[in-house]
Amino acid sequence: MDCCTCPNGKGLSNAFIVISGILLAIGIIFNEPLKRTPYSVAEYLVLLSAYFLSGWKVLKSAFKNLFRGRVLDENFLMTVSTLGALAIRQLPEAAAVMTFYAIGEYFKERAVNRSRRSIAALLDLRPDYANLKLDGEIKKVRPEEVEVGQLIVVKPGEKVPLDGEVVEGISFVDTSPLTGEPVPRKIKKGDQILAGMINGQGFLIIKVTKPFEQSSIARILELVQKAAENKAPTEQIITTFSRYYTPVVVFGALIVAFLPPLILPEASLKEWVYRALVLLVISCPCALVVSVPLSYACGLGGASRRGILVKGASFLEALAHLHTVAFDKTGTLTRGVFRVTKVVPYNGFREEEVLAAAASAEVYSTHPIAHSIRASYGKEIPLKEIKDFQEIPGLGISAVVEGKRVLVGNDRLLHKEGIPHEICNIEEGTGVHVVLDGIYAGYIIISDEIRPDAKEAILKLKELGIQKTILLTGDQEYEARLVAQKLGLDAYFAELLPEGKVKKVEEIQAALPNRHNQKVAFVGDGLNDAPVIMRSDVGVAMGGLGSDAALQAADVVLMEDTPYKLVTAVTIARGTIRIVKQNIILALSIKALFFVLGTMGVATIWEAVFADVGVALVAILNATRAFNLPTAREPKKTKMLTGTW
C-alpha cells in the first residue's frame, strides 16, 4: 500500500502524526466544552485538524485511485467510513480512525526499514572509488572506469572496489559484508579477492579480473534488490483475496445501511448508516495486506544478515516445506581441497611418468582434483606441448601431450574408450586413472576431507523433520558409500553424469507422497551442478560467492562454505511461515468477531478502530520478529589472528 510512503518529508509527516495525536486527545477530553462553542466551531477546528493532518495521505491516495480505476481498495474503505462518520457528526471517531491508522503505518515503516537494514548495509558497501595505479601514479577514479587487467591499490581499512587477483602484498580481509561471518581471511599474492571485502592492515596491489558491473558485490546487490519481486504463494493469495474481498465488503455495508430501514418500521437510517460505517472500518484488510508481505520481507532480511541470500519469498516458503535434501559431494559435503596420497603405476611406467602425464593433461582444468595433481607434480608445464585439450563432462580429460594422447579420468571413461585396467580397491579417496596412447599407465589416489560441520548439519536437518537426505555424486560408488556412511545419509547415488543428477531429482520429486506441499532441495557448489540446481524445487549453491553459475542458477545462495547454513535457512523459513499464519488467523478471527458485533450494533467505531488499526499494529509488531528469529547455534569456527602472519 502506497498511501503512507513518502520519499521526502518523513520528519514532517511524523510531526503531523504527533500533532494529530495531541489534537485528538484534546478533542476527546474536552469534547463537551468544545461542542458548546458557537456552532461547535472549536470541536470542528480541533478534530478536523487532527483528521486531515493524519489522514491526508489516505484521502489523496483514495481520490487518485478513483481516477485510475482502482476504486475499491483499503484507502477507499478508510475514506468512505471516516467521511461518513463526519457526516453523522461522529468527529472523535473519524479523527481517531485516521490518527491510529497513521500511527500503525508509522510502525510499519519502522519495521520495513529494519527488515531492509541488512540490504542497506550491502548498498553501503558499494565502493565509492578505486585507487587506479597508472604510469607509476595512483589516481582516484570511479570503479566503473577501471578496465580488466589494470592495477588498483587497496590501502588498509579501504573497501575492495573490484574483483581481482592479488599481485603484491599480504593482508587479512574482513569478508563479513559478503558472508555474514566475522572471520578474517588471509590474502596473499596469487589469491583471488572480491569486491565488497574490507582490507585489514596490509597494503595490496590487485590486478582487476572483472569489470564492476560483473563484480561479486554488484551481482549480489542486483539479486537482493530483485528478491522482493518474487512473491510467495501465500502472499499472492492474500493479494487476490483483497481484490475480491473489498467489493464484497462495500456492497455488504450498503445493504446493512439501507435495507433494514426499508423493511423494519422502527429502524433508524442514521443508526444503520453508522453500523455500516463501523463495518467498513472493521473490514479494512490492512492487517493482512501489510503484515504478510512485511513478514516475508523481515524473513528475507534476517536471512541476508546471516549470510544467506534467498531470491524471493516464494523460495523462502519452499524452504519451509522441504521433504528431501539432496547433496553434491565434492566442495559441498567435503572441502574440495584434494591432495595426492599415492601413485600406482602399471605396465612398466614409473610413478613420475604417470603423475607428469596427468598433470600435463589437466593443465587447463579448473576442477579441484586437477589442482591437486598439478600441485603434487610441482614442476612447470610447457603449454606449447599441450594440444587438443577436451574436458569430457562426468568422465575426465583428454589431451595430446608431447604427441601422445593422454586420458585422465574415472572408471567409466576407460570403459567408454575400451581400455583394460585395474579395479581400484580404495578405502579412502578417489582413484584417477591415467592412459598413455591407449596403454593403461596406472592410477592416482586423491584424498578429500569431509567438512567439519557436515555431519552436524545432516543430524540437525533430520531433527527439523526433513524426511530424507541423499547424496548425488559423479564420484565412484565406494567413495560415495563411504561419505554417506560417515555422515548418516539415508541414501546415495554414485557415478552420475550431470543429466543423471537431474533425472534422479525428477524421480525423487515424482515419488513424493504430497507433491504440492513437499519440496526437494539440491545443494551443490554452483559450478558443474547448475542443471540440477535449476531443476530442483529449491536450488541451493553453497559457497557460491565468486561463482556466476551459483548466483544465476540457484534460488538460495549460502555465502559461506558451511553446510550448516542450510539448517539456519530452513529454521528462518519455517519461523517466517509460522508468523505469516499467526497474522492471518489473528486478523481474520478478530475481524469476524467484530463484524458480527458491528452488525448487531454492539460495536462502535472505537471497537472498529481496534479491530482494524489495533490488529494491524499487533500483526506488524509480530511480523518484525521474522528479522531476529532464533536459530540453532552454528558450529564454532577457528578465528585467525589478525596481528601477525
Residues annotated as catalytic (active site), given as ranges: 328
State how far the Cα of 374 lies from the Cα of 365, in Å rounded to an integer: 10
**What single letter denotes the amino acid at residue 441?**
A
**DSSP for residue 429:** S
Measured from the Cβ of residue 414, the count of other Cβ atoms closer than 10 Å reads 21
Q: Which amino acid is at 505?
A: V
**CA–CA dist 90, 105 (Å, integer):** 23
* Paired residues of 322 in beta bridges: 519
Other Cβ atoms closer than 10 A to 130 = 27
Instruction: Judge whether 634 and 568 are in contact, CB under 8 Å.
Output: yes
CB-based contacts of 416: which residues, under 8 Å, 6+ apart?
395
Helix axis angle, 91-115 relative to 286-305, nearest 10°? Answer: 20
CA gap 530, 528 in Å, rounded:
6
Nearest to 369 by CA among 349, 341, 402, 328: 341
If we measure between CA atoms, which residue out of 90, 114, 33 comes closest to residue 626? 114
Q: CA–CA separation, 608 vs 338, rounded Å?
A: 67
* CA atoms of 416 and 63, how far apart (whole Å): 73
As a whole number of angstroms, the distance between CA 307 and CA 182 comes to 11
Angle at which helices 117-124 and 91-115 cross, to 10°: 50
Radius of gyration of the chain (CA): 32
The alpha helices in 540-614, defined as continuous H runs, are: 548-553, 564-600, 605-609
